[in-house]
Amino acid sequence: MINPDSVGRTFDSADLVTVTQSEIDAFAVVIGETDTRVAPPTFSIRITLSQFESILTQPEIGVDWQRLVHGDQKFEIYRPVIAGDIFKCSATIETLRSVAGNEIISVRSDLHNGSELVVSSWATLVVRG
């Protein structure tokens, strides 16, 4: 059971994440993208998913990552991610509900480079009961 008090809370990452060209290149090569001047549209999941994992698996929230299924994903890309971006990640647990024995969590992530919001993304994560 996930702690219902976590709804509405925003968690800021402890560390800044620097995007490297080699990370962009490695992601691009998998999908056959040869232009790596900017990151592919879904690249930022590399940053946000690991952040969600570190937040949601904290004992005070209590998600079992092994039982987690990705339900949906949305990105709003205000400008493309590029090598050298230094991101502060803020993740907010927006809603939590129980459906047919599964717990469904909606999380939002904002990636800021300094004061500039670069990407917002939303994920629905399903913890199978």
Distance (Å) of CA 6 to CA 64, 92, 125: 15, 9, 15
How many residues bind to another protein according to rule CB under 8 A? Answer: 32
Buried b (16+ CB within 10 A) or exposed e, 46-84: bbbeebbeebbeeeebebeeeebeeeeeebebeeebebe
What is the closest distance, in whole angstroms, from the C-beta atom of residue 73 to another protein in the complex? 6
Q: Which is nearer to another protein, 4 or 101 (CB)?
A: 101
User: Site residues for another protein, window 83-122 (CB under 8 A)?
Assistant: 122
Q: Given the rule CB under 8 A, which residues bind another protein?
A: 23, 26-27, 29-33, 35, 37-42, 45-46, 49-50, 66, 69-78, 80, 122
